[in-house]
Amino acid sequence: MKTDREIWENFKSGDKSALSYVYYQNFNSMFQYGMKFKDDREFIKDCIQDVFLKLIQAGEKLGPTENVRFYLFRALKNDIYKKIDKSKKNAMMEFLPFKFDAQFFLEEELAEKENTSNNEIALLKALKNLSDKQREIIYLRYDCAMEYDQICEMMQLKNDSARKLLFRAIKSLREVICDHKKEPVQFEI
Amino acid sequence: MDNKYIKYSVEDFAQDLNFIKWVNNGIGHRDWVNFIHENPDLAKDIESAKQIVNALGYGSNDLQEGEVYESYMKIESLFAEHHKHKLTFSFKQFMKYAAFLALILSIGVAIPYLYFYRNSDKYTVIANSISTNNETRLILSGRGEILLKQKLSDIRFNAADNQIEVGNDSIISSSNLDKNAMAQVIIPYGKRSNILLSDGTKVWLNAGSKLIFPQKFSGKERKVFLKGEAYFDVFKSKETTFIVSTDKMNVSVHGTQFNVRDNDSDNELEVVLVEGSVSLKETSVMNMLSSEIKLKPNQKAVYSKTDEKTSIESNVDVAKYISWKEGLLEFDKENILSVFKKLSKFYNISFVAQSSVELNNKISGKLDLKESLQDVLKVISDVAPVSFRIEHDKVFVDTRLNYLPIL
């Protein structure tokens, strides 16, 4: 089983099968990640293509990497930001902080449900209270299984800040899910 | 199992990567089960942590296989240009099968809508054929595309000898069947293919279907992507799961035989289990909310794309669903229009009829599709009040006036 580093080296030197491997392995997760910054399928697909194009053009000049997915995510985030920034400047919009506008699955489900229990209402409230930064950390940790140092690099945070943000989020959910008797409450979806 | 976990709080578990990977993907299941067994006082905390991990799932956006592939083709051609990639491998044997084509940028299919006048009658298409590109295509990433002319092609990914065999004689050998490269088999209407994957799994791929898979499986998962219909005889492996991924569902098995049908033109996805056990999970829904559905032999799961609900039927006659792979079509009180649609795909011919023709009759029986279309249609006209005429590469369906129902 080739390591990420080996596959990356093959990719840099023009091995087409390494390209197809890297592409197919990562396209979907890059797409899911990108869509959380901007809900526009064609735009995100274009960004992914541009990322790969730039990588192909850089060829041998690319640095080495131990983690291909992380490398691609970072490149994608940069590309999306650049494009959004550019369009903002063109539209002469006020600078708005970038959003990570991803809804938790439960947020949609519970919002639409008719007979929600008190626990479910409390859970929905806890989820809604999570900040954009927390949502992004949660996505990178839970959906992308990234290590803290990678998350910190992606989000330009210090290690302890990232951990604090995540722990705070988890704690707020724990308070809803466990009642004072420390019994986990089961809720129905 | 690391000792650190004994001191973990609910929050500690909920943010731990190994824990997350277990809850979301089942990785290290045995280890965690043993750990809980040995530390029963932590069971409640672990349950809470599990609930938290499940609650922190995001919805995902549907991405169709075709979208990824089309996007990839554009990149690959630019990649080739940039590296001035020369396709260097011996290919002489393939000249038998037709010219070697450069990779195509997109898979577009034109479906002609035909509208006829015959004297004063109007015939409209009730079942479509596809007129462009009648060859089966085997696309190997990084190497090119081969067209196969046979009605029933035979493709084998021979991991032991590191080669890809097509039919009885043609072989692509490589110094190494590339683990990182994908392969794709696209079957047009009117053709079928038998594929042997590198792990020993056998796939019968039906007309109008597409299968994307790694040339050589490696790692913990054997994953293939299917659009259309295929029958799988999965090579048993306790260590690796075999996953059939369609747009809507993932079917996971360890070793078993089953049929999957997920056509674009259908409103439903169907999985029929012959032997062994499979579990189904929706692809676009987060783990917590899509329960895994387990099938037992002779059960059929039908997933409605409109309702997004799955129903299970037990004790089905599996022969009815898999007879297509032997070239037989079995149906039990099936709508005659539906039968025409299947024949249209199998023979790649359009069926046209006047609006006055009754197409709702139900028929039962078995057709041997290895016979000529004429013979097959003769059988149908014996049991339904229709007559057929094959003209201009189309089947004209008319009402049979001297029909006497067989009582």
**Rounded to the nearest 10 degrees, what angle do helices B65-83 and A16-35 cross at?**
130
Give the CATH class of A105-177.
Answer: mainly alpha
Cα separation values, B135 from A63, B100, B109, B124, B189, Å: 43, 12, 13, 27, 9
Q: Chains A and B: how many Cβ contacts under 8 Å?
A: 149
Question: Testing the interface with A: which of B79, B84, B221, B287 to mutate, by most A Cβ within 10 A?
Answer: B79
Residue of B nearest to A40 (CA): B61
pLDDT tens digit sequence for B81-122:
776 543 333 333 333 222 223 222 222 222 222 222 233 346
Least confident of A77-91, A170-184, B294-308, B362-376: A170-184
User: Are A158 and A112 within 8 A, CB to CB?
Assistant: no
Structural domain boundaries in chain B: 3-55, 60-109+131-218, 223-318, 327-399
- Mean predicted confidence (pLDDT) in B4-16: 92
> Which residue carries 């001035």 as its tokens?
B84
Question: Testing the interface with B: which of A6, A7, A23 to mutate, by most B Cβ within 10 A?
Answer: A23
Sign of the Cα torsion B130, B134, B137, B143 reads negative
Paired tokens of B328: 């037989």
Which pLDDT value is given to residue A164? Answer: 92
Which pLDDT value is given to residue A171? Answer: 92
Please tell me what DSSP assigns to residue B58: B
Query: Which of these, B26, B14, B91, lies nearest to B51 by C-alpha position?
Result: B14
Give the other-Cβ count within 10 Å of B313's Cβ.
12
Q: How far apart are CA B167 and CA B150, in angstroms?
A: 9
Three-class SS of residue B129? Answer: coil
User: Are B325 and B204 within 8 A, CB to CB?
Assistant: yes
pLDDT tens digit sequence for B264-307:
777 788 888 888 888 887 765 433 345 678 888 888 888 887 77
CB contact under 8 A, A7 and B180: yes
Query: Which of these, B305, B241, B231, B303, lies nearest to B274 by C-alpha position?
Result: B231
The half-sphere exposure of A111 on its side-chain side, counting CA atoms within 13 A, is 10
Which pLDDT value is given to residue B122? Answer: 63
Which pLDDT value is given to residue B202? Answer: 92
User: Are A20 and B74 within 8 A, CB to CB?
Assistant: no
Residue of A nearest to B80 (CA): A16
> Which residue carries 């289990």 as its tokens?
B273
Contacts of B60 in chain A (CB under 8 A): 32
Q: Could you please state the CATH topology (level 3) that the domain comprising B223-318 is classified under.
A: Jelly Rolls (2.60.120)
Percent of chain A at pLDDT > 90 equals 14
Contacts of B20 in chain A (CB under 8 A): 141-142, 145
Which pLDDT value is given to residue B290? Answer: 52
User: Are B220 and B214 within 8 A, CB to CB?
Assistant: no
Question: Testing the interface with B: which of A8, A67, A142 to mutate, by most B Cβ within 10 A?
Answer: A142
pLDDT tens digit sequence for B206-265:
888 889 888 888 877 888 888 888 999 888 887 788 888 887 778 888 678 888 888 777
Of residues B212 and B175, the one with the higher pLDDT is: B212
Who among A20, A139, A174 is closest to B142 (CB)? A20
Which pLDDT value is given to residue A90? Answer: 63
Contacts of B51 in chain A (CB under 8 A): 177, 184, 186
Which pLDDT value is given to residue B365? Answer: 80
> Which residue carries 């050589």 as its tokens?
B216
Given a cut of 50, whether residue B66 has pLDDT beyond it is: yes
pLDDT tens digit sequence for B21-37:
888 777 788 888 889 99
Paired tokens of B9: 């709080």
Which pLDDT value is given to residue A186? Answer: 53
Q: How far apart are CA A137 and CA A151, in angstroms?
A: 7
From the centroid of its chain, how far is CA A185? 29
Paired tokens of B389: 């005429």
Which pLDDT value is given to residue B214? Answer: 85
Q: Give the N- to C-terminal CA distance of chain B in Å, as an integer.
A: 71
Given a cut of 80, whether residue A42 has pLDDT beyond it is: yes
Least confident of A164-173, B11-20, B149-158: B149-158
CB contact under 8 A, B288 and A189: yes
Three-class SS of residue B182? Answer: strand
Closest-CA distance, B85 to chain A, in angstroms, reads 8
Chain A from 9 to 68: CB within 8 A of any B CB? 10, 14-21, 23-24, 27-28, 31-32, 35-36, 41, 45, 48-49, 52-53, 56-57, 59
Please tell me what DSSP assigns to residue A46: H
Structural domain boundaries in chain A: 4-90, 105-177
Band of residue B177 on the pLDDT scale cut at 50, 70, 90: low
Q: How far apart are CA B347 and CA B151, in angstroms?
A: 10
Paired tokens of A172: 């707020």
Tell whether ipTM is more than 0.90.
Answer: no
Question: Do the domains A105-177 and A4-90 match in fold?
Answer: no
Strand-strand pairing, B221-233 and B257-262: antiparallel
CB contact under 8 A, B179 and A2: yes
Which pLDDT value is given to residue A19? Answer: 84
Which pLDDT value is given to residue B129? Answer: 65
**Which amino acid, one-letter code, is at B259?**
N
Give the CATH class of B327-399.
Answer: alpha beta
CB contact under 8 A, A1 and B179: yes
Which pLDDT value is given to residue B113? Answer: 24
Cα separation values, B387 from A148, B217, B399, Å: 71, 50, 6
Query: Which of these, A144, A146, A142, A148, lies nearest to A161 by C-alpha position?
Result: A148
Most confident of B184-193, B250-259, B317-326: B184-193
> Which residue carries 């519970």 as its tokens?
A110
CB contact under 8 A, A31 and B63: yes
Of residues B76 and B17, the one with the higher pLDDT is: B17
Give the CATH class of A4-90.
Answer: mainly alpha
State the Cα torsion A121-A127-A130-A132 to the nearest 10°: -130
Hey, which bits of B354-399 come out as E strands?
A: 362-368, 386-391, 394-399
Q: How far apart are CA B65 and CA A18, in angstroms?
A: 19
CB contact under 8 A, A21 and B181: yes
Which pLDDT value is given to residue A89? Answer: 64
Chain A from 110 to 139: CB within 8 A of any B CB? 123, 127, 138-139
Percent of chain B at pLDDT > 90 equals 10
CB contact under 8 A, B52 and A56: no
- Mean predicted confidence (pLDDT) in A8-14: 84
Given a cut of 90, whether residue A181 has pLDDT beyond it is: no
**Which amino acid, one-letter code, is at B193?**
S
Cα separation values, B78 from A25, A51, B14, B178, Å: 19, 13, 43, 21
Contacts of A178 in chain B (CB under 8 A): 10, 48
Tell me the helix, strand and coil percentages in chain B, rounded to 5.
25, 35, 40
Given a cut of 90, whether residue B203 has pLDDT beyond it is: yes
